[in-house]
Chain A
Amino acid sequence: MAGISLLACLLVQAALPPPPAPFQEAKEAPKASQERAAGPEEQGPPPMDARESTGIYVFIAWIWMAILVLLYVLGLKIREVDRLHGLGYFDGS
């Protein structure tokens, strides 16, 4: 039983991505600080984490959903006012 548990643990560990090695972080950190010290050539909007960048796409999707709903409602209104125009409803106003 213990052997099977150990085998399962080893298999799970093999399937998972390896954790980042500590020395890699130590190598990258000075590079980033050097870039900050030199100053970027071009400045864009503030950097976004994954949650913020997902939020951007959700915002755009929400905008377009709202626009599509409004376009549908306007389409119905246009059909209605065109029908009224055909009946001469606006002629007397």
Chain B
Amino acid sequence: MLKAWIEDRTGLSRVERFLNAKTVPQHRHSFWYYTGSAILLFLSIQVVTGFLLVFYYRPTLGEANASVARIMTEVPLGWIIRSVHSWSASLMIATVFAHLFGIWITKAYRRPRELTWMSGVALLLLALGFGFTGYLLPWDGLSLSATKVGTDIPRSVPVVGAWIARFLRGGEDVTGDTLTRFFGFHVCVLPFLLFALLAVHVALIQKHGMSLPLSVERRGEKVKGLPFWPNFVYREVRVWLVLFGLLVTAAVLFPPSLGKVADLMAPAPVGIKPEWYFLFLFQTLKIFPSRILFVDGDTVAVLLILLGGALFFMLPLLDCSPGGKRGRFFAAAAWGFLFYAVAMTVWSLF
């Protein structure tokens, strides 16, 4: 009776039929399929803990740091909510990197899934945007200095660089306006863009189905399909449980600290470092000399990074014959990029 009432008004049986018909290919690279839902798990945790933090956080120059201190010391379970939010952000970005890397090496972006890849890269940029804007919100000395450095980088881009820096900062310098602006990006603009793009990304995945790795497809062997519901979902829940356990353990044992309130007139502290996921870019910028021939070294570095980002975004269009010689080059480039990112990150720590 109730089911018929709901069915008349929503047509939910179509979703049920879709889930019953959906299958997931089973092969030796199947573990990469779990990274997508792991991202959604961490994103859900981010949303829930973010809502809880917003109840107490105050995005103003005078109150931001004190409100975070209050969350950590006075609000019941506030310190663990903040810690879970922080750790979940790191784990989400790590999983996004792993997800994209898995797609890259299995060539799952090949025709007709080019747009799925591009929307995924755009989602990575949004996730990094969340990390960058969220880093300033505690408003301590380290976050202020790191944001000053980070928002100064676009200045190196010719023509539009100064405008981008002013847009990000809400003025010439990092001030209380920057804090309020970053809070607005973090809780309003970026979530809106993220969920809109995520809807497109998931819709594209449902349209084209799960991709087979190129190596499996070329062998021409018959691949068994596992029903998405309930066989694959049960397996996913197992992965979620383990990830949730790791997240809670890390959050409880290693909660993030809070520095003294940021002083706009104070000199930058020694050893400013961004979050771990920006370290390889940070180190790349550091190794460039101040001048290369007649051009500013930072400008060359930023332009090269932007070029690398554009090539990464257009990877499916560049790798137009994934099984050929060019395809092998791009597969090697994936491992080369991983090695470079890890090496640069480790270097930046010393």
One of A10-18, A19-27, A40-48 at the interface: A40-48
Known: A42-B259, A43-B257, A45-B255. A85 touches B72 (CB 8 A): no
8 more CB-based (< 8 A) A-B contacts, given A60-B253, A81-B231: A42-B260, A43-B258, A44-B72, A45-B73, A59-B252, A63-B249, A64-B245, A81-B234
Binary CB contact string for chain B from 233 to 271 against chain A (1 if under 8 A, 0 otherwise): 011011001101100110011010111100000000000
| A71 vs B242: C-alpha distance when bound (angstroms) | 9
Known: A42-B258, A42-B259, A56-B252. A67 touches B230 (CB 8 A): no
Contact A44 B258 (CB under 8 A): yes
- Write the residues of chain A forming the contact surface with B, with a CB cutoff of 8 angstroms: 39, 41-46, 56, 59-60, 63-64, 67, 70-71, 74-75, 77-78, 81-82, 85, 90, 93
Known: A45-B73, A46-B73, A63-B245. A90 touches B20 (CB 8 A): yes
Q: With a CB–CB cut-off of 8 A, which chain A residues contact B282?
A: none
Q: With a CB–CB cut-off of 8 A, which chain A residues contact B235?
A: 78
Q: With a CB–CB cut-off of 8 A, which chain A residues contact B231?
A: 78, 81-82, 85
| A32 vs B78: C-alpha distance when bound (angstroms) | 25
Known: A78-B235, A81-B234, A82-B231. A41 touches B260 (CB 8 A): yes
Partner of B72, one of A45, A70, A81, A93: A45
The residue on A at minimum CB distance from B68 is: A43
Q: With a CB–CB cut-off of 8 A, which chain B residues contact A39?
A: 260
Partner of A67, one of B72, B241, B252, B253: B241
| A90 vs B229: C-alpha distance when bound (angstroms) | 9
Classify the interface of chain B: helix, strand, loop or mixed: helix
Known: A43-B73, A45-B79, A82-B231. A67 touches B242 (CB 8 A): yes
Question: Does any Cβ of A come within 8 Å of B226's Cβ?
Answer: yes
Contact A43 B238 (CB under 8 A): no
Q: Which 8 pairs from chain A and chain B are nearest by CB? A: A45-B79, A42-B257, A43-B258, A67-B245, A44-B257, A46-B73, A78-B234, A93-B20
Question: Does any Cβ of A come within 8 Å of B100's Cβ?
Answer: no
The residue on A at minimum CB distance from B255 is: A45
| A46 vs B74: C-alpha distance when bound (angstroms) | 8
Chain A's nearest CB lies how many Å from the CB of B282?
22
Q: With a CB–CB cut-off of 8 A, which chain B residues contact A64?
A: 245, 249
Q: With a CB–CB cut-off of 8 A, which chain B residues contact A71?
A: 238, 241-242
- Write the residues of chain B forming the contact surface with A, with a CB cutoff of 8 angstroms: 20, 69, 72-73, 79-80, 83, 226-227, 230-231, 234-235, 237-238, 241-242, 244-245, 248-249, 252-253, 255, 257-260
Partner of A85, one of B80, B83, B226, B253: B226
Partner of B227, one of A44, A63, A90: A90
The residue on A at minimum CB distance from B225 is: A85
Q: With a CB–CB cut-off of 8 A, which chain A residues contact B249?
A: 60, 63-64
The residue on B at minimum CB distance from A39 is: B260
Partner of A46, one of B20, B79, B237, B259: B79
Q: List 27 A-B contacts (CB under 8 A).
A: A39-B260, A42-B257, A42-B258, A43-B69, A43-B72, A44-B257, A45-B73, A45-B80, A46-B79, A56-B252, A60-B248, A60-B249, A64-B245, A67-B241, A67-B242, A67-B245, A74-B234, A74-B237, A74-B238, A74-B241, A77-B234, A78-B231, A78-B238, A81-B230, A82-B231, A85-B226, A93-B20
